[in-house]
Amino acid sequence: MQNSSKCTTSYKILTSPSQYQPCHIRVPDLNKPIAAIRSDGKYYSLFKITDDTQQAVQLIKRLSARGEETIITKTVKGYGIWVFEPEAIA
């Protein structure tokens, strides 16, 4: 399912763990690996987990307004907000 806001960036909502693979990645500006997911051949770093639906929507709107490509996952802890990492190293 893909949704679009009034921004040029869209986001995906992944409701099943079969739609992504949890992993760790490295990015150029950090020395340690960070939590991530892989979906459709792209890597996304964990931005935040929230149990508040409205907060998740507001975060996605702000990130999209900045041009970020994002994914929301539904987990037992709430909603995971993930940001695309074009320079990720698996």
Mean pLDDT, the chain, as a whole number? 89
In three-state secondary structure terms, 71 is strand
The residues, any chain, with a CB within 8 Å of residue 32's CB and separated by 6 or more, are: 26
pLDDT band per the 50, 70, 90 thresholds, residue 7? very low
Residue 12, pLDDT > 80, answer yes
Beta-bridged to residue 70, according to DSSP, are 11, 83
- Report helix, strand or coil for 35: strand
Residue 6: per-residue pLDDT: 45
- CA–CA gap between residue 36 and residue 58 (Å, rounded): 21
State pTM to two decimals.
0.84
